[in-house]
Amino acid sequence: MQAFRNCGLCASGSLLKGRTDFLVARRNMAVLRLSAACVQLLKDKANVFCRSPVHQRLLRVPKVARSDTVAFSLGCSLCAVPFTQQVENLSHESLIRRASCLVTDSANTYLSQTTLALVDALTQYAKALHTLIALQKRYITSIGKLTPAEEDSIWQVIIGQRVEVGDRLEECRRFESNWMNAINICELSAEAAYNSGAEHACTATKANLQVAQCKVEELRKISKKAEKKLAETKAEEIQRMAEYASSIDITDLEDIPEAYLRED
């Protein structure tokens, strides 16, 4: 009897254990089916989102906003969703700072062009002065040695060179006016850049100003030196002509070219 009882208990335990395992297995299957349904649902949602107009607009955002994107997969599909780690600053201060940088860039370009034009004009003016000085010195050394025709020919060349000097000087004044406007604009733009917080643009503009002013000042000194030398040459010419006039008869003064007797 005891043996039958033990066998009955063993059989009952086996049946109970088998039923428990069956229930656990059914529960696991239910969980698996629920998980699969969730994954399929997320997959469908992701595919719909990727084809939606919202997603298409997001794909067209600027490159700066799409620089850091995180790609993730749901099931078998791949959907890229942009995540901006740092939103671009579009505050009034930032926009003003950007505008001031653009102004300094334009001002620096204007300064560069006007400086180049003025430097070239001053160089050509100095060359014209030196040419006139050479012509007048040549005339001084030939006073009293030339025929009236030769002397008249030399004076025609000198007068033509004087016209060239006047034209070059007028060109210098015109370009200098533009250059001064560029200087003023650069100074104002540098101040605006500093006030807006664009210290780098302000520093660069001030450096360009200093370089331009030094270059123009150097050419101005060369031109002033040439003008001073021309004035000395004219004084020497007048003295030499006076000496020549005192050494000849008064009737011979009629041969002195009228262009020489005229003061500039």
Which two tokens mark 35? 């998980």
Q: Is residue 77 part of a domain?
A: no
In the block, tokens 């007068």 appear at 159
d(CA 144, CA 244): 7
User: Dihedral of CA 40/44/46/50: which sign?
Assistant: positive
Query: In 3D, which of 241, 250, 239, 254 has the Cα closest to residue 142?
Result: 241
d(CA 49, CA 45): 6
Which two tokens mark 123? 């160089």
d(CA 103, CA 224): 34
Q: What are phi and psi of 110, to 5 degrees?
A: -60, -40
Q: Are 192 and 100 in contact (CB under 8 A)?
A: yes
Q: Which structural domain, as residue segments, surrounds residue 206?
A: 92-251
* Number of domains making up the chain: 1
Which pLDDT does position 154 carry in this prediction?
87
Q: Is residue 42 part of a domain?
A: no
Q: Is residue 183 part of a domain?
A: yes
User: In 3-state terms, what secondary structure has residue 82?
Assistant: strand
Which pLDDT does position 172 carry in this prediction?
95
Q: Is residue 124 part of a domain?
A: yes
d(CA 233, CA 129): 11
Q: Is residue 4 part of a domain?
A: no
Q: Is residue 261 part of a domain?
A: no
Which pLDDT does position 238 carry in this prediction?
83
The CATH number assigned to the domain holding 170 equals 1.20.58.70
Which two tokens mark 246? 């005192």
Which two tokens mark 21? 């395992």
Query: In 3D, which of 91, 96, 87 has the Cα closest to residue 201?
Result: 96
Query: In 3D, which of 73, 172, 79, 160 has the Cα closest to residue 118?
Result: 172
Q: Is residue 221 part of a domain?
A: yes
d(CA 117, CA 171): 10
| 84 alpha-carbon distance from chain centroid | 30
pLDDT, one tens digit for every residue, the chain (264 residues): 444 344 444 444 444 445 555 555 566 666 566 666 665 665 665 555 455 554 455 445 444 444 444 443 434 443 444 444 444 567 888 899 999 999 999 999 999 999 999 999 999 999 999 999 999 888 888 887 878 888 888 889 999 999 999 999 999 999 999 999 999 999 999 999 999 999 999 999 999 999 999 999 999 999 999 999 999 988 888 887 777 777 765 555 455 555 444 545
Residue type, 203: T
148-196 and 92-141 are packed helices; what angle lies between their axes, rounded to 10 degrees?
160
Q: Are 108 and 208 in contact (CB under 8 A)?
A: yes
pTM above threshold 0.85: no
Q: How many CB atoms lie within 10 A of CB 139?
A: 21
- Residue 20 forms beta bridges with which residues? none
Radius of gyration for the alpha carbons in the chain, expressed in angstroms and rounded: 47
Q: Is residue 123 part of a domain?
A: yes
